[in-house]
Chain A
Amino acid sequence: MNAHQFQQHILCYSDQIYRMALSMLKDENKAKDLYQDLMMRLWERRQQLDGIANRRAFLLTSMRNMCIDKLRKEPVTEEIPAGTVDLGPNPHQIAEYSDTLNYLHQLIDELPEMQRIIIRLKDVEELDTWEIARIVSMTENAVAVNLSRARKKLREKIVANQQKEKNYDEQYR
């Protein structure tokens, strides 16, 4: 594979690969570093890339594995102090978010890792279930279950938030 082919067949998935890293690591700088790392490794082993049938699934799986390695090596920093009660954002807090989209982005980020990855692969990257199953090394059925759980959680939170906003409006009107 030469530079032109690498550009055509590998770098065309850059954004999807980067978003996968960002979704897993939740840190822009780390995601960028890991993306560059993966691309460099792929470039160094470019001769072996010719034989890969589904390059997108391969690339996303590679990125996912690298993220898992990185997360394993890093100490857990997102510790929740003891006694903290998370009641979710109140309408005032929501108003503090720059916009509703940021709030939704946060809702997705709060989902368990697998659900977060699957919902993004399905709804952002618009991949088929079989392809997602291949990337996350699960059966299609397991992917469907995770997707369903993730979407239900989001719906519950969206509805609850809507209710809170409604109550808030009624209270202060």
Chain B
Amino acid sequence: MTNNIDDILNHYFEGISTAGEDKILKDYFRGHQVAPQHEMYKPLFDQFDQERESMIAPRFVIPTAGEKGKRRALRSLWIASAGVAAVLLLCILLLPFKDARDTQQEYVVIVNGKKISDPQKAKEYAEAMFTQACAIKKENYQSLGKAKEMQEMYNAAKIIGEAKKGTYLLTTRNQ
């Protein structure tokens, strides 16, 4: 028997043992009649048995239709919540920019350090200013006309001409 086991062991470790020989070896090492020279191999076969017995798969629960429906509903809820959250986040992020843009577009005119935000008032003010400017311009043109008149009045050539004429007139009168 021992010789036989030795041969089978050699076959086994060479990887050429048959299924029948493997079974003989396993039965031999599972029993209590293991020869001392084979004792060192016993734990190897015990290890194989132990792995098979102790490594048990966790329980897999087959999903039922209800659970599947629940899972789908949860999934939909989750997607909807994520969508709402995304929209809220966008609003929070973009609103300040919108406000800033609105502020930039706000109608503000500063006149003499005073803000005028009403476009109508600003327009009225602008018209008043234009009228005033026109009046000043007109007034200034009037003085210019006066100046021109005076220039003409005090034109040296004319005065001399007229003076010469007067002298001549005076001379002829005296004669």
Contact = CB atoms under 8 A, between A and B. Distances in A.
B15 A105 contact: no
A154 B44 contact: yes
A39 B55 contact: no
Interface in A92-121: 100-101, 103-105, 108, 120
Interface string B48-71: 101110011110101110000000
B145 interface: no
B174 interface: no
Contact of A43 (B22, B41, B56, B63): B63
B124 interface: no
A83 to B, nearest CB: 32
A128 B47 contact: no
B43 A36 contact: no
B23 to A, nearest CB: 9
Given A19-B51, A19-B55, A120-B51, A104 B15 contact: no
B16 A148 contact: yes
Q: Label chain B's interface by main secondary structure.
A: helix
Nearest to B42: A100
A71 interface: no
Contacts of A144: 15-16
Contact of B15 (A11, A22, A145): A145
A79 interface: no
A148 B60 contact: no
Interface string A16-40: 0111001000000000100110011
B40 A162 contact: yes
A162 B48 CA distance: 19
Nearest to B40: A162
A68 interface: no
Contacts of B15: 144-145, 147-152
A159 B44 contact: no
Contacts of B64: 3
Given A15-B55, A148-B14, 8 more contacts: A6-B62, A18-B57, A18-B58, A101-B47, A108-B47, A151-B14, A158-B41, A162-B40
Interface of B: 12-16, 19, 22, 40-41, 43-44, 46-48, 50-52, 55-58, 60, 62-64
